[in-house]
Chain A
Amino acid sequence: MQAAVTHSPALASLSRVTHRYGPVLALDDLDLEVRRGEVLGVLGPNGAGKTTAISLLLGSLQVQEGAARVFGFAPGAPEVRVRRGAMLQISGISANLTVREHIELFRAYYPAPIAAARLLAMAGLEDLARRRYGKLSGGQKQRVMFALALAGDPELLFLDEPTTGLDVDARHRLWSEIRALRESGRTTVLTTHNLDEADALADRVVVIHNGRRIAEGTPAEIKSRTAGRLVRCVTRIAPDEVANLPGVVEARTRGQHLEALTTRPEDLVRELLARDEALADLTVVAAGLEEAFLALTRDGKEGAA
């Protein structure tokens, strides 16, 4: 019983947290554990409760039910603030201050900040230091927010949808900057609704849907579980009949078309063609993320850790 414990203790955790905004249930008995040195991807569709979970770990929301701990302290404790950095979904910081001024101000908040020149280099902002924040492009603004999150040389970093609204180039640039953080031994919590982003960056992924954890594992495990296909066609076969076929997760009518989400598209197509010779306008496409989440939800299984 006293043997050396190899698994590293949680750096931050939510335990059985339930959170409501008025009548709306945002988090439903959620457990979340952040382990030292990992990049944890918190994945889920918009409105799943990701930002609520992050806000509780940042102390910007009060815990209603359950418990939130960071470094063994309450999330808003001064001991936590000096060791944590955050990049939030906010519409902007003062447009009239320059990049260098913003960085200087945030560095002053922390006892052992990263040197300004290094922060500028880490976020790729060397050439923009004297530009006012308001004159930057969307990608450049996100890089400033990234630099501010790093200003205090944090052990634990929260990135809430860091690449939302960025074009492909800006996104990949920020991805490489986030990857570099892992090499430096920091722990990162990354929320995203983009499966590719979680795949590119995370060591471990937790999928949240309707405030509940519906899956957990490596990105590869999550992807294999969401590999459904959407079969679409015009047919006289009723959705209820299709729903009972093997591998079908859900079937519904949309306009003139039948839409069926399945993990076995070949079997389904064969079956549909056999049952309805008049079937027309058939397409098979990879399920979007919303469908993938639906597949996970319908499975109803908690992912193995």
Chain B
Amino acid sequence: MTGGAATASAGASMLARDAHRLTPARRFRIYLLEARFQFVEVLREPMFAIPTLAFPLIFYLFFGVIMGARGVSLAVPTYVLATYGVFGVLGPALFGFGAGLANERDTGVLLLKQTTPMPAGAYLFAKVMAALIFGAVVVAALFLMAAHAAGVALYRWQWFALAGVLLAGVIPFCALGLAIGAWARGRSAVAVVNLVFLPMAMLSGLWLPIYMFPDVMQDIALALPAYHHAQLALKVIAMDAGQPVPMHLAVLAAETLAFLAVAALGFRRADSFSMRRIR
């Protein structure tokens, strides 16, 4: 049956020989749409948007603006601007990337997309971009509150440098999210993310300055990526613990690579594991 004018013929048979090759324009469009819908999807999820967007801002309102106004110096509002900024970038990376990926692997969306011509890079790009945009929204809101409500005064270069350092945290934190997403399954991923998110934020000195902790806890902090990221952010405003920048960068780079390796292992294991349910 060749199909008349009324019934569409299977048009794909007319495809050019090289139609499977992605032109730069098509590739760009897939990346863009994937990122846009990833962002929209997460934005419409109140379980995600409220804790990750609102918590850092509410914390800052309380500890930075209200408590800060009673203090004699601007030290506290300035300090927590950097650390809540880290908190604000960490949340979307862990929840959007980690829990989101685990969920999509569990529901089978990822399996379905893998049968299409979607480039795998577009999927990962979309998740990183969504985390980056949400992180940027939190950082921008924190900056506005700091400058206009808490009275924090920084040099212009410090504002820019602080924003840059904070947003760069998306890289190690998304790698951590990827590792969690590769190992945790479905709904349990949210629990795992919470077990990582809140203790790490606390132990890294994001809520209370690290020097207020006992020595043992300060030693633990040295192993946490959020601690090193926070120290880099605090370095911009000269409030860090005084450890060298290359050390922080080296730890972050090593841990990022370790997270990626753990994620790769998880995916490999999952290939044989999850397929057992199919049959």
Q: Which residues of A contact B (CB under 8 A)?
A: 21-22, 24, 26, 37, 47, 49, 51-52, 55, 58-61, 77-79, 81-84, 86, 88-94, 96-97, 101, 104-106, 108-112, 114, 118, 132, 148, 152-155, 180, 182-186
Give the complex CA separation of A186 and B29 in angstroms. Answer: 28
Does B73 belong to the interface (CB within 8 Å)?
A: no
Point out which of A24, A104, A105, A114 has the most chain B C-beta atoms below 10 A from its C-beta.
A105
Known A78-B21, A91-B107, A97-B41; judge A152-B1 contact (CB<8 A): no
A47 touches B279 (CB 8 A): yes
Contact with A along B15-58 (1 / 0, CB 8 A): 11001110000100110011001001110110000000000000
B3 touches A26 (CB 8 A): no
Known A52-B278, A90-B108, A90-B111; judge A108-B41 contact (CB<8 A): no
A96 touches B279 (CB 8 A): no
B116 touches A109 (CB 8 A): yes
B29 touches A108 (CB 8 A): yes
> Nearest chain-B residue to A47 (Cβ)?
B279
Give the complex CA separation of A97 and B104 in angstroms. Answer: 14
Q: When A and B form their complex, which 5 residue pairs have the shortest distance between CB atoms, in order from nearest?
A: A90-B108, A96-B44, A78-B20, A111-B19, A81-B117
Does B114 belong to the interface (CB within 8 Å)?
A: yes
A90 touches B107 (CB 8 A): yes
Taking A97-B37, A185-B7 as known contacts, 4 extra A-B pairs with beta carbons closer than 8 A to each other, sorted by chain A number, are A22-B272, A59-B115, A91-B107, A155-B10
A60 touches B15 (CB 8 A): no
- Provide the residues of chain B in CB contact with A58, threshold 8 Å: 115
B19 touches A82 (CB 8 A): yes
Known A106-B116, A108-B30; judge A93-B10 contact (CB<8 A): no
B108 touches A109 (CB 8 A): no
A82 touches B20 (CB 8 A): yes
Give the complex CA separation of A130 and B44 in angstroms. Answer: 14
Known A21-B275, A21-B276, A82-B20; judge A93-B109 contact (CB<8 A): yes
Give the complex CA separation of A21 and B275 in angstroms. Answer: 8
A90 touches B41 (CB 8 A): no
Nearest CB on B from A104, distance (A) = 7
- Provide the residues of chain A in CB contact with B26, threshold 8 Å: 108, 111
> Nearest chain-A residue to B276 (Cβ)?
A21
A185 touches B10 (CB 8 A): yes
- Provide the residues of chain A in CB contact with B212, threshold 8 Å: none
Nearest CB on A from B193, distance (A) = 18
B1 touches A37 (CB 8 A): yes
Nearest CB on A from B25, distance (A) = 11
Give the complex CA separation of A152 and B117 in angstroms. Answer: 10
| Cβ contact of A104, chosen from B3, B13, B33, B111, cutoff 8 A | B33
- Provide the residues of chain A in CB contact with B117, threshold 8 Å: 78, 81-82, 109-110, 152
Give the complex CA separation of A81 and B15 in angstroms. Answer: 12
Interface residue tally for chain B (C-beta within 8 Å): 44
5 A–B pairs (Cβ distance < 8 Å), ordered by A: A60-B114, A88-B115, A105-B37, A152-B117, A182-B1
- Provide the residues of chain B in CB contact with A26, threshold 8 Å: 279
A81 touches B20 (CB 8 A): yes
| Cβ contact of B116, chosen from A49, A94, A152, cutoff 8 A | A152
Known A22-B276, A106-B116; judge A153-B111 contact (CB<8 A): no
A51 touches B278 (CB 8 A): yes
| Cβ contact of A185, chosen from B2, B20, B104, B109, cutoff 8 A | B2
| Cβ contact of B279, chosen from A49, A59, A108, cutoff 8 A | A49
Does B246 belong to the interface (CB within 8 Å)?
A: no
Nearest CB on B from A107, distance (A) = 9
- Provide the residues of chain B in CB contact with A180, threshold 8 Å: 7
Give the complex CA separation of A182 and B13 in angstroms. Answer: 15
- Provide the residues of chain A in CB contact with B115, threshold 8 Å: 58-60, 81, 84, 86, 88
Nearest CB on B from A32, distance (A) = 16
Give the complex CA separation of A82 and B20 in angstroms. Answer: 6
B20 touches A79 (CB 8 A): yes
A183 touches B112 (CB 8 A): no
Give the complex CA separation of A47 and B9 in angstroms. Answer: 35
> Nearest chain-B residue to A84 (Cβ)?
B115
- Provide the residues of chain B in CB contact with A114, threshold 8 Å: 8, 11
A105 touches B41 (CB 8 A): no
- Provide the residues of chain B in CB contact with A49, threshold 8 Å: 279
